[in-house]
C-alpha cells in the first residue's frame, strides 16, 4: 500500500486525501494525486479533456483513499463537491468512479460514472474519459455552470428583434423546448414495490460502509449496493421515456423479486451477521461468496438493462439467484420483507425478524 505523507487518518477521516484534492481544485479543474501511477501523464490527458468553462472537475486518487479512510462510501465525493463551484465532479479512487452534479440529477451523474467504470475494464483513464464526455452531453442545452453567467434570453435582445421573434412564433418554440428539457430532467416515478426495496438497500449500504472501515468484503459490498441502487433508479425513468409499457411491467416484476431477495440476503440477520460473527455460522465463506455473486449479478443485469433501454432493445433478465433460494434461512424472504415493511394496527412488534 502506498504511504501517504499528508495528514494521517487519526487527524482526518479521509486520511489527508480530502485536503490535498480540495486545495488543488481551487486552482484548477483537474487533480491527480502524485501517488497514482503515471500521475503526470494522466494529469495532462485530463486537462485536455475537461471543458474550459468550469462545468466539470475531475479528481483521481489511489485506491486506498476510498477503502482505508472514508467513513462512508461517498464521503470524499460529497466533501469535495460542497467546497467547489464546478457544475459536476467526477472522482476516481483506483478503478472506482463516483460522480455528482448540480446541472443534471445527482443519481444520473452517479449512474453515468458507474456505467463508465463498468465498460472500461479497469482502465481508469478510459473510464474518466467516458464519464466526462457523457456528463457533458447530458447537460440540457442552455444550462449554465452554477455561479457563472446564464444563457442569454430574448429579453436581452434589442426590442425590434424581440418583436420579430414573437411575430414569427420563435419565442414560443423556445419556451416549449425549455419546458420539455425541464420535464426530461425530472425523474419518473419508480414503482412503490421497487422503491421500498431500494430504500432498504440504501439503509443497508450505510451499515456495510460503517463495517467496511476494517473489512474489505463489507467495503466492497457497500460500493456495489450503491452502484445497484443508482442504476435501478435510472432504469425506470428511462423505461418511461423510451420503452413500451410491457417492458416497464416486466422490469417491475423482475426487480421487485430480485431486490427483495437481496434485501433478505444482505440484511442484519444474514450476511452482516456472518461477516461480524463467522464462527456462529456453518460454511460462512461459502455463504459470503453466494451473496457476493448474487449482488454482482443483479448489479450487472441492471446495468445491462439500462444499456438495452438506451439502445431501444428489449430487456433481458438472466439472473436466477438459485443459490439464495436454496437456503432455508432465505426461503421466506418475501413474506418476511412484506411483514416487516408494513405498519400494523394490532400493536404487534414487527422489529424482530426471527
How far is residue 264's CA from residue 307's CA, in Å, rounded to a whole number? 27
Same domain assignment for residues 54 and 134: yes
Q: Cell numbers for 228, please give them.
A: 445497484
Average pLDDT, the chain: 77
> Residue 57 has what pLDDT?
94
- CA-closest candidate to residue 116, choices 101, 96, 102: 96
Same domain assignment for residues 333 and 219: yes
| pLDDT tens-digit series, residues 283-310 | 999 999 999 999 999 999 999 999 988 8
Same domain assignment for residues 134 and 169: no
**Domain tally for the chain?**
3
Same domain assignment for residues 168 and 233: no
| pLDDT tens-digit series, residues 21-51 | 888 888 899 999 998 888 888 898 898 889 8
Q: Which of residues 10 and 270 earns the better pLDDT score?
A: 270
Residue 10 falls inside a structural domain:
no
> Residue 118 has what pLDDT?
81
Domain boundary among 185, 206, 241: 185
Residue 173 falls inside a structural domain:
yes
Residue 347 falls inside a structural domain:
no
Same domain assignment for residues 41 and 58: yes
Q: Which residue is listed with cell 472514508?
A: 70
138 in Cβ contact with 108 (< 8 Å): yes
> Residue 237 has what pLDDT?
87
Q: Show Cβ contacts of residue 18 under 8 Å, excluding neighbours closer than 6 positions.
A: 12, 76, 79, 80
- Does 69 score more than 70 pLDDT? no
Helices (H), 139-283: 159-168, 170-185, 192-211, 216-242, 245-266, 271-276
In total, the chain counts a number of residues equal to 354
284 φ/ψ angles, rounded to the nearest 5 degrees: -60, -40
> Residue 39 has what pLDDT?
87
For 184, counting Cβ atoms within 10 Å of its Cβ (0-12 exposed, 13-18 middle, 19+ buried), the class is exposed
- Write the Ramachandran bin of 92: left for phi over 0, alpha for psi from -120 to 50, otherwise beta: beta
- CA-closest candidate to residue 54, choices 32, 82, 80, 28: 28
Same domain assignment for residues 312 and 287: yes
76 in Cβ contact with 13 (< 8 Å): no
Residue 132 falls inside a structural domain:
yes
Same domain assignment for residues 88 and 69: yes
Same domain assignment for residues 277 and 202: yes
Question: Could you list the residue range(s) of the whole structural domain that residue 159 is in?
Answer: 154-185
Same domain assignment for residues 122 and 231: no
pLDDT bin (cut points 50, 70, 90) of residue 15 is low
Residue 12 falls inside a structural domain:
no
| pLDDT tens-digit series, residues 116-159 | 888 777 788 888 988 898 898 888 765 544 444 333 333 333 44
Residue 83 falls inside a structural domain:
yes
| pLDDT tens-digit series, residues 92-124 | 988 889 999 998 998 888 889 888 888 777 788
- Does 16 score more than 50 pLDDT? yes
Helices (H), 17-122: 17-25, 39-49, 64, 75-82, 106-119
pTM over 0.75: no
DSSP 8-state class, residue 65: I
pLDDT bin (cut points 50, 70, 90) of residue 68 is low
Residue 1 falls inside a structural domain:
no
Same domain assignment for residues 92 and 159: no
Same domain assignment for residues 198 and 178: no
CATH number of the structural domain spanning residue 73: 3.10.310.50
Q: Which residues pair with 31 in a beta bridge?
A: 59
Residue 282 falls inside a structural domain:
yes
Same domain assignment for residues 125 and 178: no
Amino acid at each position: 500500500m502506498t504511504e501517504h505523507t499528508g495528514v494521517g487518518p487519526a487527524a482526518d477521516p479521509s486520511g489527508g486525501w480530502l485536503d490535498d484534492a480540495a486545495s488543488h481544485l481551487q486552482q484548477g479543474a483537474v487533480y491527480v494525486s502524485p501517488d497514482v501511477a503515471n500521475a503526470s501523464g494522466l494529469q495532462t490527458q485530463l486537462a485536455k479533456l475537461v471543458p474550459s468553462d468550469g462545468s466539470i472537475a475531475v479528481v483521481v486518487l489511489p485506491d486506498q483513499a476510498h477503502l482505508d479512510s472514508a467513513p462512508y462510501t461517498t464521503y470524499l465525493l460529497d466533501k469535495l463537491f460542497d467546497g467547489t463551484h464546478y457544475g459536476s465532479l467526477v472522482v476516481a479512487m483506483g478503478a472506482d468512479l463516483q460522480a455528482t452534479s448540480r446541472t443534471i440529477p445527482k443519481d444520473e451523474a452517479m449512474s453515468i460514472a458507474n456505467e463508465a467504470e463498468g465498460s472500461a475494464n479497469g482502465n481508469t483513464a478510459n473510464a474518466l474519459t467516458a464519464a466526462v464526455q457523457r456528463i457533458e452531453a447530458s447537460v440540457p442545452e442552455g444550462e449554465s455552470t452554477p455561479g457563472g453567467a446564464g444563457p442569454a434570453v430574448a429579453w436581452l435582445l434589442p426590442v425590434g428583434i424581440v418583436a420579430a421573434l414573437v411575430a414569427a412564433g420563435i419565442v414560443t418554440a423556445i419556451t416549449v423546448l425549455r419546458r420539455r428539457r425541464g420535464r426530461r430532467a425530472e425523474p419518473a416515478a419508480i414503482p412503490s414495490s421497487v422503491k421500498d426495496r431500494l430504500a432498504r438497500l440504501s439503509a443497508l449500504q450505510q451499515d456495510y460502509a460503517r463495517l467496511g472501515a476494517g473489512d474489505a468484503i463489507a467495503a466492497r459490498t457497500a460500493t456495489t449496493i450503491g452502484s445497484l441502487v443508482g442504476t435501478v433508479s435510472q432504469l425506470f425513468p428511462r423505461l418511461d421515456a423510451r420503452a413500451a409499457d410491457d417492458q416497464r411491467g416486466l422490469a417491475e416484476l423482475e426487480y421487485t423479486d430480485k431486490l427483495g431477495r437481496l434485501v433478505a440476503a444482505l440484511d442484519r440477520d444474514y450476511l452482516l451477521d456472518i461477516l461480524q460473527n463467522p464462527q456462529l455460522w456453518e460454511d460462512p465463506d461459502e455463504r459470503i461468496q453466494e451473496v457476493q455473486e448474487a449482488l454482482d449479478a443483479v448489479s450487472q443485469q441492471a446495468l445491462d438493462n439500462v444499456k438495452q433501454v438506451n439502445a431501444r432493445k428489449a430487456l433481458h433478465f438472466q439472473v436466477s439467484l438459485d443459490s439464495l433460494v436454496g437456503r432455508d434461512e432465505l426461503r421466506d424472504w418475501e413474506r418476511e420483507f412484506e411483514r416487516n415493511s408494513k405498519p400494523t394496527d394490532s400493536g404487534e412488534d414487527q422489529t424482530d425478524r426471527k
